[in-house]
Structure 1
Amino acid sequence: MTARIHIVGIGDDGLEGLTGHAKSLIASAEVLVGAATLLQRIPEDHPAQKLACDGGLQEIQDCLRDLPDRPTVILADGDPLFYGIARFLTEVIGKEHVEIVPHVSSMQLAFARVKESWDDAYLTNLAVQPLDRVVEQIRSAERVGLFTTEAIPPAAVAEALLDRRIDYFHAYVCENLGTPNETVTQGDLQSIRGQTFSPLNVMVLIRRTGAADLPKGQWRRRLFGNPDEVFLQSRPKRGLMTPSEVRCIALAELELQPETVMWDVGAGSGALAIEAAGIAHAGKVYAIEMDAEDYSLMLENASRFEVPSLVPVHGRAPEAWKDLPSPSAVFVGGTGRIVPALVAAAAERMASGRIVINVSSPDNLVAVQATLDQAGFQVEVRMINIARGQHQMDRVRFEAMNPTFLIVGGR
């Protein structure tokens, strides 16, 4: 297979929507390979040999193995590198034998039709992702783009979301994009649940302004490290301050005992403080938060988890802790220049114990480390890089979270 193979993206509008370069590649091809629905978009009088390949990845691989050594174009939907087959094909054929000519993705067209940015959206394909996993990702997203399937149409997506009380999205269903039959339907999830749509559709979900995430309805509660989605959290402002993986490490480093008195400074919606209170069940965990919205969410989360040792404190540190008992464990999370000053003030109240600070910037890392050194703490630093696995077709890819630093002090 020495001839260069071109992977050409094609839209629902067929040859009319292609660039001149893409048209010339298809016109000069002696072999055209693709799903039967894509081959139907090529004029019948095209002289090329047409090889329909509608099966899974193994059938595609078998088809490629038997390709004649002639100029070949493989047709793909939209952008072959966006939930398409280009990644698989380049691994099978070899990148040196392939040229990729993308078309506008129908996902890109859908967001253009509803006039919403998609640079921070959660995008996925229900053909390669289980619906339950997708729904849990949607729970905390601000914008969502879904390639639906005949087995999981927009109505089924709406039904699954509403069953989990996720009702805070405005929905658009974009059908037959780029064709004369193009249609965009919009409404709430309740109205989408009762409608049927063309199989060629993209579903876009936009979170209503100010809507908070609803927690997962049923889960097996853990002592710590509960999934992020079981907590009410403020969106789209910032979400949970401390993801579950970082929470686990921070709680371990705090060395909590049943009678511990702890402060959580900048507690957000309370995830870490609530789990700390479950460990320090005979002590007290004071969760200090100045933001009224996050404080309200913390109260609701605390009610759901039933942790009587948690004491929510609404106020700005350090003023908010002046009347609190001195802690033997302190967690500080947050951003901005005030973090080192808060650490210094908290350290003054600690006769002994552990302090853990979670920061995301190297500047704060250096400043906090210097502050703890000056206060006489023995300091250790952790940089945490977490990547969560996401299934894509029959493979797993890893989606990296932002790196974070934990500074641990003890005396």
Structure 2
Amino acid sequence: MRDNEFIRTKVPMTKEEIRAISIDKLQLHRAKRMLDVGSGTGSVTIQAAHTYPELDVVAIERNPDAVALTLENIEKFNCKNVTLHEGLAPISLEGQFDAIFVGGTGGNMREIFDWCHELLVPGGRLVLNFILLENAIEAAEIAEEMDWQELEVTSIQAGRWTGLGKGHYFKPQNPTIIVSCEKALENQEAQESAQA
């Protein structure tokens, strides 16, 4: 989906190039239920719900302006498979998820990881986006410490072809660091504790 399809304000939005890679890393083709933490404009929520209409998408956002904007975009794209909660994660949610996307931790990195570990099914995917290097490093270190599987840290820099005077240049977007990992399968966890 193109960025210009979404209703926009000053609320931050995960840009389409980053969104495409992040959603791909969530492996939603095999998911039944997804959680978006820090939905912002709702771009990840909407694209996931629109691309996978059978997917149950739950979103959380603490900023009232962003909540209102996400609701507007849900209505615009007629996404019937989205539930939006206003609040600061971690919050109490029912059931488990196959995939969790984190667009913002609100300074609660460790709590978010513990909470995501509880909410994800074994083999479930966790993808986090950061613009601050320190936050990405902290996330990767916590993921390693908690023995998340298939940890990948990827830096993405995208630029858009933009006119300037008689010529063109690539207008840069903020570089984004994508941290992705997977919750260990139960038999892996049992084997690791037996070996410890």
- Scaled to the shorter chain, the TM-score interval is 0.7 to 0.9
323-332 or 387-396: bigger deviation: 387-396
**1:12-411 to 2 correspondences below 5 Å:** 226-235=1-10, 238-240=11-13, 242-257=14-29, 259-319=31-91, 322-334=92-104, 336-350=106-120, 351-378=122-149, 379-411=151-183
Deviation string, structure 1 residues 101-131 (Cα, Å, up to 9, x no partner): xxxxxxxxxxxxxxxxxxxxxxxxxxxxxxx
1:315: how far off? 1.8
Residue identity in the other structure for 2:85: V
Residue identity in the other structure for 2:83: V
Q: Which has the larger radius of gyration?
A: 1
Residue identity in the other structure for 2:12: G
Using the alignment, how far apart are the partners of 2:110 and 2:22 within structure 1? 18
Using the alignment, how far apart are the partners of 1:299 and 1:392 within structure 2? 36
* Contact 2:19/2:44 (<8 A) preserved: yes
TM-score, normalised to structure 2's length?
A: 0.85
* Contact 2:38/2:105 (<8 A) preserved: no
Closer, same or farther: CA 362–254 of 1 in aligned 2, 3 Å: same
Using the alignment, how far apart are the partners of 1:348 and 1:370 within structure 2? 18
Using the alignment, how far apart are the partners of 1:397 and 1:296 within structure 2? 35
1:287: how far off? 0.8
Aligned residues: 181
Using the alignment, how far apart are the partners of 2:68 and 2:76 within structure 1? 13
Residue identity in the other structure for 1:346: C
* Contact 2:32/2:54 (<8 A) preserved: yes
More helix per residue: 2
1:340: how far off? 4.1
More strand per residue: 2
1:410: how far off? 1.5
Deviation string, structure 1 residues 31-80 (Cα, Å, up to 9, x no partner): xxxxxxxxxxxxxxxxxxxxxxxxxxxxxxxxxxxxxxxxxxxxxxxxxx
Residue identity in the other structure for 1:332: V
Using the alignment, how far apart are the partners of 1:281 and 1:254 within structure 2? 16
1:264: how far off? 0.2
Using the alignment, how far apart are the partners of 2:29 and 2:66 within structure 1? 27
Percent identical pairs in the alignment equals 28
SS in 2 for 1:276: helix
Using the alignment, how far apart are the partners of 2:134 and 2:111 within structure 1? 13
Please list every run of 5 or more consecutive structure 2 residues that lacks an aligned counterpart in the other structure.
184-196
SS in 1 for 2:7: coil
SS in 2 for 1:352: strand
Please list every run of 5 or more consecutive structure 1 residues that lacks an aligned counterpart in the other structure.
1-225
* Contact 2:31/2:99 (<8 A) preserved: no
1:353: how far off? 1.4
* Contact 2:162/2:171 (<8 A) preserved: yes
Residue identity in the other structure for 1:357: L
Residue identity in the other structure for 1:239: P
Closer, same or farther: CA 370–386 of 1 in aligned 2, 3 Å: same
Using the alignment, how far apart are the partners of 1:404 and 1:340 within structure 2? 20
TM-score, normalised to structure 1's length?
A: 0.42
1:258: how far off? 6.6
SS in 2 for 1:316: coil
* Contact 1:260/1:280 (<8 A) preserved: no
Using the alignment, how far apart are the partners of 2:21 and 2:69 within structure 1? 24
1:348: how far off? 2.6
Using the alignment, how far apart are the partners of 2:74 and 2:115 within structure 1? 27
TM-align CA RMSD = 1.7
1:336: how far off? 5.0
